[in-house]
Structure 1
Amino acid sequence: MGSPIVGNNVIIEENVTFGKNVTIGNNVTIYTGTEIGNNVVIQDNAVIGKQPTRAKASILPDVKELPSAKIGSQVTIGTSAIVYANCKIADNVFVADLATVRERVKVGEYTIIGRGVAIENDCIVGKRCKLETNCYITAYSELGDYVFVAPCVVTTNDNYMARSKERYDKFKGVTVKTGGRIGANATILPGKVIQEDGTVAAASVVSKDVLRESLVVGTPAKELRKVPENQLLRNQEG
C-alpha cells in the first residue's frame, strides 16, 4: 500500500487504500473504504466514493449503504468531478473536470469521460469509449466498446415523462453496441438500441432502433445510407 502525495484540506475517511504514486489535489474528499490503484491523479475539489442521497419524492428504493468505489490504476479524476459509491473505474480511464459518475456504474479501460458529462446510476460503459463534453447518459443504459458520444447528446429512459404509476417498472435506458456513434445534440428515446457501428447524425431524434452499420438522420431519424467502409470499426488502424 502506498502513501499518496496529498494537497491542502483533504479529507480521507477510514479504510481507504492507495496504490503506489497517487497524487491528490486540494480540497478532495475520499469516502470510507474507497480502493485506489497505482499512478492515480485526483485533482482539486474532487469527491470519490460519495453515497447517493435520495430525494423524499423519489420513486427509487432507499439504499442505506452502498459498497465502496474502486478506482483502477493510471486513472485521472479531474477537478470537481464526483465519483459515487459502488462505481468501478477500470485502468487508464480519464474523468474530466466537473463530470459525474453515479452509483453502480462500471467504466471500462481507456475510456474518456469528458468535461461535464453525467453518467447516471446503473450504467455500463465499455472500454475505449469517448463521451464528449456535456453529454448525458441516462440511468440503466449500456454502452459497448469503442462507442463515441458527441457533445450535448441526450439519452432518455422514461416514456411517461414522470406521470402515471404505470411507469415505475418500465424505465429503460438506451443500448449502444460496439462501435456505435452519436452526433452532437442528438436525442435517443427510451429503450432504443443502436446496433454495432450504427451512426446517428447530429441533432437527430432516434425513435426506432438503429440497424447495424446504418447512418440515420433527422427527426424522427431515418436511414440515409450505410456507413462508409472506411469508417467502420473493423477498418480502423490501431
Structure 2
Amino acid sequence: MNNYSKGLNVIIGENVTIGDNVSIGNNVIIYDGVQIGNNTMVQDNVVIGKQPARAKNSILPEVKKLPPTVIGNGVTIGTSSIIYANAQIADDVFVADLATVRERVTIGEKTIVGRGVAVENDCTVGSYCKLETNCYITAYSTIEDYVFIAPCVVTTNDNFMARSKERYEHFKGVTIKTGGRVGANATILPGKTIHEDGAVAAGSVVTKNVEKEAIVVGVPARELRKVPETQLLKNQ
C-alpha cells in the first residue's frame, strides 16, 4: 500500500493493493485482493469486492469464490455504491452514489454510471458511455462505446418471465452497439440489438432489432426516420 488517506471505520482485507493519492471515505469495506489504481476516490459507505450470495432457487451457477475486483486510475466511486467481486473498472470511470456493479462486469474508460444504476452480472460496458440515473442493465448484456442510456431505461433478458424450465436455455441480454442511444423510460426486450447510432425515443418498447442509424418510436417501437447527419457519432 502506498500514499493514501482513509476515514473512520474502514475495513481493508488481506492482499489489497492501493495506489498513490487515493482517498477512502468513512465506513468503507474493501475485500481481499482488491486492486485500486492511483488518484481514485472511494466515498463513504462503499463496498468493493463483495462476493455474490446466491438464492436457493436462483438459476445462476454456484460459484465458490470469484477473483478480486480491479479498479483503475482516476476512478470515483460514489457514496453507498457496491462493486462486486471480479468486476473490472477502467481508468477515469465515474460511479455515482447508490450504484451497483455486479460480478464479472467490465466497464470501459471514462464511462459514467449514474446514481442508482444497476449493472447486473456478466455485462460488458464500453468506453465513454453514459448510463443515467436509475437505468437498469440486465444480466448478459453488451454495451459498446459512446452509448447513451437515459434515466429509468429498463433492459430485460427473460421472455418466459420466470415460468417453465425452457427459459433456462434462452436467457439473453440486450446489445447496444457503438453510438446507440435510448431515451428515458424505454424498455428493451430480451435479445434485441440496437445497431450503430440507432436511437430509441422516450417511452418506447423495443420488440425488434433497431437498424443502424434509425430512430424508432412507440409501443411497439417502429422506425420513424433516420438519424440526422449532424447527430451521427462520426460528426461529433
Give me the TM-score of the superposition, normalised by structure 1: 0.99
CA distance in structure 2 between the partners assigned to 1:169 and 1:94 by the alignment: 35
d(CA) in 1 for partners of 2:111, 2:60: 28
Give the equivalent residue in structure 2 for 1:208.
208
Q: Displacement, 1:162?
A: 0.2
* Cα shift readout 1:14-69 (whole Å, capped 9, x = no counterpart): 00001110000000000000000000000000000000000111111110100000
- Cα-to-partner distance string for 1:104-142 (whole Å, 9 max, x where unaligned): 000000000000000000000000000000000000000
User: Which residue number in structure 1 is paired with residue 156 of structure 2?
Assistant: 156
Aligned residue identity for 2:192: K
Q: Give runs of aligned pairs for residues 11-30 of structure 1, distance below 5 A.
A: 11-30=11-30
Partner of 1:179: 179
For residues 67-82 of structure 1, what are the structure 2 equivalents within 5 Å?
67-82=67-82
The alignment yields a C-alpha RMSD, in angstroms, of: 0.5
Structure 1 CA distance for aligned equivalents of residues 38 and 15 of structure 2: 17
Q: Distance in 2 between matches of 1:110 and 1:8?
A: 29
The answer to whether the aligner puts 1:107 opposite 2:107 as a matched pair is yes
Alignment of 1:103-142 (within 5 A): 103-142=103-142
Could you tell me how far apart the structure 2 residues matched to 1:202 and 1:153 are? 9
How far residue 215 of structure 1 moved from its aligned partner, in angstroms, is: 0.1
Q: Distance in 2 between matches of 1:235 and 1:209?
A: 24
Question: Matched residue pairs, number?
Answer: 236
- Equivalents in 2 of 1:3, 1:13: separation in Å? 17
Other-structure match for 1:84: 84
Which consecutive unaligned segments of at least 5 residues does structure 2 have?
Answer: none
Identity of aligned residues (%): 73
**Shift in Å, 1:3:** 3.2
Tell me which residue corresponds to 1:55.
55
For the residue of structure 2 that corresponds to 1:230, the secondary structure is: helix
